[in-house]
Amino acid sequence: MTRIAIIGGHGKIALRLASLLSGRGDEVTAVIRNPDHTADVEATGARPVVADVENLSATQIAEVIAGHDAVVWSAGAGGGNPDRTYAVDRDAAIRSMDAAQLAAVMRFVMVSYLGARTDHGVPEDSAFFPYAEAKAAADEHLRGTSLHWTILQPSKLTDDPGTGHITLAEDRGDITRDDVAQVAAEALARPDTASTTIPFVNGETSITAALDEVVARRSPDAP
């Protein structure tokens, strides 16, 4: 049994992921900000923990995740407020990485987005710019840590039923939230996906085969 903490545990992907992980016998803690979301989390088989990571220090977050084997970052400010976007998608995410190292929870899976990188090319006058900047900074920080990280880069999300198949691609497309959750679940079960970035859309390759391809491409210097 693996003990997994999902930060942002009431998100649409997070709830799907919690159900998958609980269903296969993992022990799941869902870290949520709003206590009104407790029942939704419990319905997935996860244990809800109310903790507002936006306002917690790295040390305080470490206390929340201590004793787990892995952390999944699936939180987000939801857009609309640039200051809060930076506070959650960049600053709180980075503190959670620092917390994971403090708590010796070395496996860390980041749910990012397709196109996240420091040279993202989003114009400064775009409403999307703060999110692009925040995610780029968080992902780069993660790559520089000693954590056994995996960065998931799904494209445009849909609520269509999952297919169990994806395509590794830098090009835009759609991806179901079901399939993003499945990719996260399989990545968590595969230590060999550490030190990989996985850009994907829905496609024709089974998730297992796609992850095999990611691993085969991985740098030989990766841990």
In the chain, domain spans: 3-217
What's the pTM?
Answer: 0.95
β-strands 148-154, 174-176: how paired?
Answer: unpaired
Annotated catalytic residue: which of 73, 108, 131, 200?
131
DSSP conformational letter for 221: T
Using 70 as the pLDDT threshold, list the residues of the chain that sit under it.
Answer: 219-223
Q: Tell me the two tokens of residue 181.
A: 């959750």
The correct CATH number of 3-217 out of 3.40.50.1100, 3.40.50.980, 3.40.50.300, 3.40.50.720 is 3.40.50.720
The CA-CA-CA angle for residues 20, 22, 27, to 5°, reads 135
β-strands 165-168, 205-206: how paired?
Answer: antiparallel
CA nearest neighbour of 214 among 124, 204, 223, 199: 199
pLDDT for residue 172: 82
pLDDT for residue 1: 82
**Measured CA distances, 137 to 21, 91, 130, 165, 203 (Å):** 28, 9, 11, 29, 29
Question: According to DSSP H, which parts of the chain are helical?
Answer: 12-23, 38-42, 58-65, 82-85, 93-102, 129-143, 177-188, 207-217
Reply yes or no on whether 113 is catalytic: no
pLDDT for residue 171: 81
pLDDT for residue 104: 98
